[in-house]
Structure 1
Amino acid sequence: MADNVKDRSIISLSWPLIITFGIGVFQPMMDSWFLSRTSESAAAGVGALMPILGTIFMAIQAFSQAGASIASQFMGANSSSHARSTISMVLVGSLLLGVAMTLLVFPSSKWIVHALGLDGDTAKFGIQFLQIVCFGFVFRALQTTLTAMIATHGLTIWNLIGNSITIALNIGLNIIFLNGIFGIPKMHVEGVALATALSWAFSSGILWLVLRFKVHHKTKKVDIKRSRVVLGDWIRIGLPAAAEPVSFQLFQVFITAMVVHLGTLAVTARVFSANFAMFAIILGVGLGNGNQILVAHLVGAHDYQKANRRTFQSLIASSSLGFLVALIVALLGPHLMSFYTNNPEVIELGSACLWCDVILQPFKSANVILTGSLRAAGDSKFPAIFGSLMMWTLGAGTALFLAFVLDLGLIGLWLGMASDEFYRSCANLWRWKSGRWKNATVV
């Protein structure tokens, strides 16, 4: 399988990942739509929590992808036993991480919501959602890890099938819980949260069956002993790999707090426009994940020249497509915003944000590709340390200056996020071109 994967095209690996990620993006959009049918406050309250949930999910995903990169390097080096041990170790680790996240978030849910600056009905709905959905974190962790491990074997189409079934279930459960079908009491925010958690549980079950019977993965006793050999590398790569996206999501929490400071209009406009802005990054993330799989396999086989070529091909394609999709979304902005609301002020402000996103997306797509390639090679410290440092100095400083000194408000904050992506993409491009990642490989 290792030979087959590293010889495959980026498109053959990535197109199922693009659609799979698109389905993942569609789920919070769908939740926002269901909630907006009954209350804009509910949609805004739950939407404001997305950076918090994103922080948790990105930490889990980073550890999962770090483990998948290690497994891919072993597969590229034709060391299937070490690859199997890595998969077993990461599955157990993600399970424990999911439990830890639940134990951390549930008792802190009220504090988290109020720390974001939410109050009144918006805060009430946010707390209700968080206290229920957090019990699904263990399944979300398993879902994320299983997806990464199946993808590293090149079986990305099975991830697409499993997640497609899951989103259909999520839609069905939302309809049932919100309308009180089959004698179930009508629920509001609680129903949306429960539907989300149950869909994660169902998805993890389907993906486990794929790993067990399609990939033929089975944990053996020797794997537990052998996992100690790769545990150090998983921590070495996984901790920085988790630190960078967690730092990014905390930066989004900071931006959200600044948006809350601007008022309910800004919060609502940002939540709705951010949902549509995600369309532009779908292609970039899908190509980035496919490229990360290929680079890890190629690095394991010590084919550095091909790994470098694949990265730059993905970089050009991802940035170009990110710009094109963002431009189309911005042109359709007023029509898309009216899908959520009839408030002309929200539509106008949200549409303006989507034009700012046209500037942001090419650099965001570049960061996804470059950071993924560095992680795949085992060089996760650079984007974690220097990326976070630039984010909280240059990025945050630019955002605050544009928003509050030049008085551009939400537009200024969005342009500040675009500047952050630009600064970090330049740094990551320099790091990749330096070739120092060749000294960080596991194999």
Structure 2
Amino acid sequence: MKQIDVKDRSLISLSWPLILTFAVSMIQPMMDSWFLSRTSETAAAGVGAMLPILGALFTALHAFSQSGASIVSQYIGAKQNSHASSTQTMVLFGSILLGIALTLIIYPLSGNIPQWMGLTEAPAEYATQFLSVVSFGFAFRALQTILTALIATHGLTIWNFVGNTLTIATNAALNVVFLEGLFGLPKMGVHGVALATALSWLISSGILWLVLKFKVHHHSKIRDWKRTRVLLPDWIRIGLPAAAEPISFQLFQVFITAMVVYIGTTAMTARVFAGNFAALSVILGVGLGSGNQILVAHLVGAHDYVKANRRVHQTLAVGITSGFLLSVAVALLGEHLLRLYTDNPEVLRLGKICLWCDVAVQPFKAVNFIVTTSLRAAGDSKFPALVGSGMMWTLGLATSLILAFVVGLDLPGLWLGMAADEFYRSFANIWRWKSGRWKSKAVV
């Protein structure tokens, strides 16, 4: 039976494993928060305050990986398989180096970053413990990220789901072992949760490497290194702006977190717990958007712009609807979900309000993810980086601060400010896609 080209596959056939993969990956921070909350709510809040920092770092890794994978997809769509293979070798090696560089930066600063975030005493100590251990796993996280992107771009998305599921199961088991002190080990507390996370990245990257080697049949060759000087400029041209916008978004989240810390520990705890469940609302949108990104890159490589445009509009319709419906469902179940973490009545009250505020965020978040990744897949990554970041730190920031501190809404005001930010940027991104300028940005 003749194998169907990736560009000719349906969105659902590519996306359903990605949806499940993303859903499984969302379990890890939620699971870590749950295990930490068994130690203390202060530990969970302190480590949770570091999530925007880690999010910024991992977003950089993800953006560079997706940019490299999109270039691979364009070459595959153009039937230039030799160039696709050389690009894979380049981005694999480059991503590992990037992960090592992040370790060398973050580990020495693991005691300073919590203080810069405004944490003090016990929360700061817990956050430092977590960062000092988990930072040694960044190279494995980088390898896991690029392997996931490359395997997906070949249409083998089901293997990403299998690999991530095994990893999460291992992570849960290691958390139990390290926190309970099984097999003669000491009870490690926050150090144990961080170590379990780092080891899970190692296991995941090992599994995915085997998939790339034996299912994709990728083998690095001497010619790959010779082509690096030709291929690298395109990766940098697309990758740097692609990383800039999501990093800017994560830094914006860091600023919002610092404002939450200023409001108080109760608000910080409520944001961490509510944020874990709010993330469930983006599962379908991110999964479908990731599948759409693969299709768009392959179609742009084949110069089939009409079909690429149609794919984006179809994905938007499903992503917006799913984001809204899932966020409403999470808000309705808010108290029951939050009680998995806490019985503190004030944390429960604030958390429920934030989950209802999140209903206003999710439809526009779906638009931004789908359109931005489509622009990057086509090679047009500068627009969302420059315009998106500019709007975020002007209109978005101003709205957040006004609602929180001028109107006096505090934590809900900051959350509604994030909704306004997504709203502003969604219109700019849609305008850019409709303009059609992305058609001239392709690598091939």
TM-score when normalising by structure 1? 0.99
Q: Aligned letter for 1:154?
A: G
5 Å-filtered alignment, 1:101-250, equals 101-250=102-251
Q: Summarize deviations over 1:23-56 as a string: whole Å, max 9, x none.
A: 1111000000001012000000010000000000
Q: 1:330: how far off? A: 0.3
* Residue 278 of structure 1: aligned partner: 279
* Residue 30 of structure 1: aligned partner: 31
Q: 1:110: how far off? A: 1.4
Residue 356 of structure 2 corresponds to residue 355 of structure 1: yes
* Residue 100 of structure 2: aligned partner: 99
Aligned-partner Cα distance in 2 for 1:153–1:294: 10
5 Å-filtered alignment, 1:38-437, equals 38-437=39-438
Aligned-partner Cα distance in 2 for 1:168–1:368: 28
Q: 1:22: how far off? A: 1.1
> SS in structure 2 opposite 1:78?
coil
Aligned-partner Cα distance in 2 for 1:118–1:19: 35
Regions of 4+ moved over 2 Å: none
Q: Summarize deviations over 1:104-140 as a string: whole Å, max 9, x none.
A: 0001111111010001110000000000000000000
Aligned-partner Cα distance in 2 for 1:259–1:419: 17
Deviation larger for 15-24 or 145-154:
15-24
> SS in structure 2 opposite 1:37?
helix
Aligned-partner Cα distance in 1 for 2:282–2:398: 24
Q: Aligned letter for 2:391?
A: M
> Are 1:377 and 1:441, in contact at CA under 8 Å, matched by a contact in 2?
yes
Aligned-partner Cα distance in 1 for 2:84–2:442: 14
Q: 1:364: how far off? A: 0.2
Q: 1:159: how far off? A: 0.4
> SS in structure 2 opposite 1:211?
helix
Aligned-partner Cα distance in 1 for 2:221–2:3: 21
Aligned-partner Cα distance in 1 for 2:168–2:324: 27
Q: Summarize deviations over 1:286-339 as a string: whole Å, max 9, x none.
A: 111100000000000000000000001001100110000000000011111111
Q: Aligned letter for 1:274?
A: G
> Are 1:3 and 1:76, in contact at CA under 8 Å, matched by a contact in 2?
no
Aligned-partner Cα distance in 1 for 2:4–2:240: 29
Q: Summarize deviations over 1:183-205 as a string: whole Å, max 9, x none.
A: 11111000000000000000000
> Are 1:136 and 1:200, in contact at CA under 8 Å, matched by a contact in 2?
yes
> SS in structure 1 opposite 2:39?
coil
Aligned-partner Cα distance in 2 for 1:46–1:65: 27
> Which residues of structure 1 form unaligned runs of 5+?
none
Q: Aligned letter for 2:45?
A: A
Aligned-partner Cα distance in 2 for 1:279–1:322: 9
> Are 1:320 and 1:362, in contact at CA under 8 Å, matched by a contact in 2?
yes
Q: 1:282: how far off? A: 1.0
Aligned-partner Cα distance in 1 for 2:330–2:248: 27
Aligned-partner Cα distance in 1 for 2:320–2:185: 47
Aligned-partner Cα distance in 1 for 2:400–2:197: 33
Q: 1:2: how far off? A: 9.2
Q: Aligned letter for 1:308?
A: N
Aligned-partner Cα distance in 2 for 1:164–1:332: 25
Q: 1:226: how far off? A: 1.5
> Are 1:2 and 1:75, in contact at CA under 8 Å, matched by a contact in 2?
no
Q: 1:228: how far off? A: 1.9
TM-score when normalising by structure 2? 0.99
> Are 1:129 and 1:189, in contact at CA under 8 Å, matched by a contact in 2?
yes
Q: Summarize deviations over 1:368-424 as a string: whole Å, max 9, x none.
A: 100010000000000000000000000000000000000000000000000000001
> Are 1:2 and 1:297, in contact at CA under 8 Å, matched by a contact in 2?
no
Q: Aligned letter for 2:268?
A: V
Aligned-partner Cα distance in 2 for 1:117–1:23: 31
> SS in structure 2 opposite 1:110?
coil
Q: Aligned letter for 1:240?
A: P
Aligned-partner Cα distance in 2 for 1:268–1:2: 50
Aligned-partner Cα distance in 1 for 2:331–2:417: 18
Q: Aligned letter for 1:233?
A: D
> Are 1:2 and 1:153, in contact at CA under 8 Å, matched by a contact in 2?
no
> Are 1:140 and 1:204, in contact at CA under 8 Å, matched by a contact in 2?
yes
> Are 1:49 and 1:126, in contact at CA under 8 Å, matched by a contact in 2?
yes
* Residue 5 of structure 1: aligned partner: 6
Q: 1:3: how far off? A: 5.5
Q: 1:147: how far off? A: 0.1
Q: Aligned letter for 2:233?
A: G
Aligned-partner Cα distance in 1 for 2:243–2:369: 14
Aligned-partner Cα distance in 2 for 1:209–1:143: 12
Aligned-partner Cα distance in 2 for 1:289–1:58: 14
Q: Summarize deviations over 1:149-203 as a string: whole Å, max 9, x none.
A: 0000000000000110000000000000000101111110000000000000000
Aligned-partner Cα distance in 1 for 2:410–2:25: 30
Q: Summarize deviations over 1:46-78 as a string: whole Å, max 9, x none.
A: 100000000000000000000000000000000
> Are 1:387 and 1:424, in contact at CA under 8 Å, matched by a contact in 2?
yes
> SS in structure 2 opposite 1:323?
helix
Aligned-partner Cα distance in 2 for 1:170–1:6: 35
> SS in structure 1 opposite 2:315?
helix
